[in-house]
Every structure is written in C-alpha cells, then in structure tokens.
C-alpha cells in the first residue's frame, strides 16, 4: 500500500498551523493599534517592518496545511466553526473590520500613527508622505496577495482557480497599487486602469474628464482608455466571456471578496427574498449613478443654469451613501455575516450592467450534466452570489443568471463533475445541453 503520510496534513498539524498563523495576525493587529496610538510616529520603520513581517508570516503559516494536504476542497467543519458560520468570532471580526472602515473614512486622525509608518514606502513609490488612502491601499493589496496564496493552495486542483487568482493578484498589485503610485511620483494624475465607469463613477463626470484632459497627453490617454473600456471593451468582452472577465479576473473588489472573503462565501443568503432584494437594490444603484452622471453633464452643458447645485448634491450623496457606506463599510465589513460578495451582489453598478449583458446578450453559461448530480448541495452552499445551483443541476438546465460572476467555485466543489463554465454560441443557450453527448 502506498504511504501518503507525507502528502496529507494531519489534523493536529493543521490546527497548530492555523493557531500560530492566527496568533501572528492578531499580534499584527495589536501592533497596528499601538502604532495608531502615537507610537508609530516616533518609530515608523520599526512598526512598519514588524507589522508587515507578522502579517506575511502569519498568512503563510496559516496557509501551509492547504499545500500539505492532498489536492481537493477541504471544508470540513466550516459550518460549525464560530469563525466561519456567524458565530462569536465571526461577529468580532465583522465589528473590527466595520470599525476600521468607519475610522478610515470619517475619523482618519485616529490612525495618524499608523499612517506615518507607511511614509518610507510612500516616499519611495509616490514621492510624498502617506495618507489614509495609501495606508488602506497597502493593507488591501497585502490582504489580496496573502489570502490569494491561501486560496491557490486550497483550490490548486483547479487550473481555472489558479489562473484567475494569479490574475486578480496581478491586477491589484500592478494596476491598482503600483501604477497609480508611480503616476503620482511623475506628477501625473492618480489613475486606476483596472476601474472604470460605472464602478469608478467619477471617471465619467465632466469635472474629472476636464481635469484629466488639462493635465496633458497622459491625461488624454486616461480619458480615452476609460471611454473605450466603458463603451466598447465591456460589451464585447461580456458578450464573449460573460461578466467573469471583469468580476472574477480583474476587479479589485472581486479580488478581495475571492481571497479575504473566501472563508465566508457559504454565508450568502440563498433565499428567494434575498434574490428579490438583490435585484431591486443593485439595479437601483445603477439607475442612481446613471442619473447622477447625466445630470452632471446636463448641468455642465448649460453652465449650471438649469439645475444649479442639484447635480453636485446628487454626486455628493452618491459618493457618501454608495461609494463610502455601501461599498466600503458594509460591503467589506459584513463579509463574516453576509458572505463575501455583499457589495458585488447588492450594490455594485458595474456588476449590474455586466449582468444585464450576460443575461440577455452573451455566450457565457454554466452547463450541467443532470444525470451525474447526487444532490450533495455543495454548489449551492458555496455560491457566494446566493444562486441555488443545485436546482438547475437537478433539472439539467444551463445556468444563465445576471448575478453569476463566473468564479467557478460551484464547479470546483462538485464531486461529480456536473458543472462546467462554457463560452458557446448564443443560440440555444437556454436549452438543456449535455456536453457528454458531443
């Protein structure tokens, strides 16, 4: 008999690694609190390397069991753990994350000491001292990279999961962190090439476009890039690949949800009521941002003589309610309670407009082989968008839903190979299709 002892992580070893990793990350959080109290201003370099080292080592040690185990999904006990099933630990993490976002957005002076420890790296990358948003961007990118390593270990039996995780890590590090910082160092406008309207709503506002155009050739290219990606690339790519090309391969919001939010994906509400609320909310946000953009351009065209300050108030309220409260505080802080795609599911206007394309004009679908389905329910349980995948699989129906982000986890956790992500001809996409008969 073959000895697999070297390829299987023993439960005691896994538990020990997770405890050590969690302890180191908790120590990093404690150091961050101490730095925020003022100590970070007096010894910035010490606290910077201490926090970064604790976070990285904690994340790597926590991920080791996934690489030592035999490839395949191991979710044993995830529904009983107080950290991953809305227990006391999960609520504590949610309160901590929500509190951090509230302080970050509206009381950043409480984080002055923590912000100062980022000055050395901020000076290297941007040639200016750190602010709350650079602090946030650094922590955000670290979370995607470290938890991305964990994610790859957990799903390394799936080539699709490995590739798309490397993709979101690459776009977050390069396009959403390093390139914007480098542009500032060159005295150019800070611009995120992986975000565009309506998710980055201000990139289509007249004031922002005017500012970019006046900044020179690079600014003109930024405007051109945003317009092309919004009105040309988005429809074409979504038609050919569904919304997954963006939501699960490029978007920074999706990157954080897929990596940091992975332990909580099973907490998404699968009820019919949640689906109805989701449809109204996400499309209302899309209408809100579209109306706001149209009013701003109308007012700009008429030199402010029609609506006065009303269009500006629309923009301010959208930025506060959607840009700050929803996408930031609720969208991320509620991961442990409502699942990892709260913002993507209920509030993201980009997800809404991509979903409309995907539902009515796209080649993308998830095909099912109903004859192989054993009704284990893994697909529905781990769908972060709250789709009852099993119901489609049992009937052998193609899954064509506006909310599906094409993450492919339903296929990855299926023990029978029932589900497959496909890009096929548009005709007949709603008809049952058994790929095993071809």
CB 152 within 8 A of CB 63: no
pLDDT at position 6 is: 37
Quick one: which of 103, 105, 84, 80 has its CA closest to 94? 84
Distance of CA 67 to the CA centre of its chain: 23
User: Which of 15-24, 226-235, 362-371 shows the lowest per-residue confidence on average (mean pLDDT)?
Assistant: 15-24
Q: How far apart are the C-alpha atoms of 228 and 217, rounded to whole Å?
A: 16
User: Which of 144-158, 201-215, 317-331, 418-432 shows the lowest per-residue confidence on average (mean pLDDT)?
Assistant: 418-432
DSSP state, 108? Answer: G
pLDDT at position 286 is: 95
Instruction: Write out pLDDT tens, residues 145-165.
Output: 999 999 999 999 999 999 999
User: Which of 14-23, 174-183, 198-207, 281-290 shows the lowest per-residue confidence on average (mean pLDDT)?
Assistant: 14-23
Distant-in-sequence contacts of 54-57, Cβ < 8 A, 24+ apart: 54/24, 54/25, 54/27, 54/28, 55/24, 55/25, 55/28, 55/142, 55/146, 56/142, 56/146, 57/24
- Orientation of helix 310-318 relative to helix 272-301, angle to 10°: 140
Q: Who has greater pLDDT, 180 or 21?
A: 180
Domain ranges of the chain: 364-437
CATH hierarchy code of domain 364-437: 3.30.70.20
Q: How far apart are the C-alpha atoms of 194 and 200, rounded to whole Å?
A: 9
pTM of the model: 0.90
């Amino acid at each position: 008999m073959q000895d697999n002892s070297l390829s299987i992580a023993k439960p005691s070893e896994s538990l020990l690694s997770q405890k050590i990793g969690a302890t180191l990350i908790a120590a990093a959080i404690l150091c961050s609190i101490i730095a925020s109290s003022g100590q970070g201003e007096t010894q910035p370099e010490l606290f910077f390397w201490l926090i970064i080292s604790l976070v990285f080592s904690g994340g790597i040690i926590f991920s080791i069991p996934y690489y030592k185990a035999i490839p395949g999904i191991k979710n044993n006990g995830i529904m009983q753990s107080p950290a991953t099933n809305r227990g006391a630990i999960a609520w504590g993490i949610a309160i901590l994350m929500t509190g951090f976002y509230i302080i970050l957005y509206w009381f950043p002076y409480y984080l002055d000491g923590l912000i100062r420890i980022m000055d050395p790296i901020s000076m290297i990358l941007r040639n200016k001292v750190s602010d709350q948003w650079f602090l946030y961007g650094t922590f955000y990118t670290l979370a995607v990279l470290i938890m991305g390593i964990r994610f790859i270990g957990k799903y390394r039996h799936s080539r699709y999961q490995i590739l798309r995780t490397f993709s979101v890590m690459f776009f977050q590090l390069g396009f959403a962190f390093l390139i914007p910082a480098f542009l500032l160092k060159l005295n150019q406008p800070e611009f995120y090439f992986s975000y565009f309207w309506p998710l980055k709503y201000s990139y289509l506002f007249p004031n922002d476009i005017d500012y970019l155009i006046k900044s020179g050739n690079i600014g003109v290219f930024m405007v051109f890039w945003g317009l092309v990606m919004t009105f040309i690339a988005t429809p074409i790519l979504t038609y050919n690949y569904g919304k997954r090309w963006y939501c699960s391969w490029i978007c920074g919001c999706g990157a954080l949800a897929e990596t940091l939010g992975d332990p909580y994906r099973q907490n998404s509400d699968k009820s019919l009521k949640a689906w109805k609320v989701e449809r109204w909310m996400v499309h209302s946000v899309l209408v809100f941002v579209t109306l706001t953009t149209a009013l701003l351009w109308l007012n700009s065209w008429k030199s402010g003589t029609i609506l006065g300050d009303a269009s500006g108030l629309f923009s301010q309220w959208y930025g506060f309610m959607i840009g700050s409260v929803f996408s930031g505080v609720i969208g991320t802080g509620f991961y442990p309670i409502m699942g990892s795609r709260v913002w993507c599911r209920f509030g993201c206007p980009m997800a809404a407009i991509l979903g409309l394309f995907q539902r009515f004009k796209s080649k993308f679908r998830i095909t099912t082989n109903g004859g192989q389905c054993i009704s284990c329910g893994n697909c529905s349980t781990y769908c972060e968008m709250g789709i009852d995948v099993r119901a489609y699989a049992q009937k052998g129906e193609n899954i064509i839903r506006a909310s599906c982000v094409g993450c492919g986890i339903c296929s990855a956790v299926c023990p029978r190979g029932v589900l497959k992500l496909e890009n096929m001809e548009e005709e007949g996409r709603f008809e049952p299709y058994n790929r095993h008969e071809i």
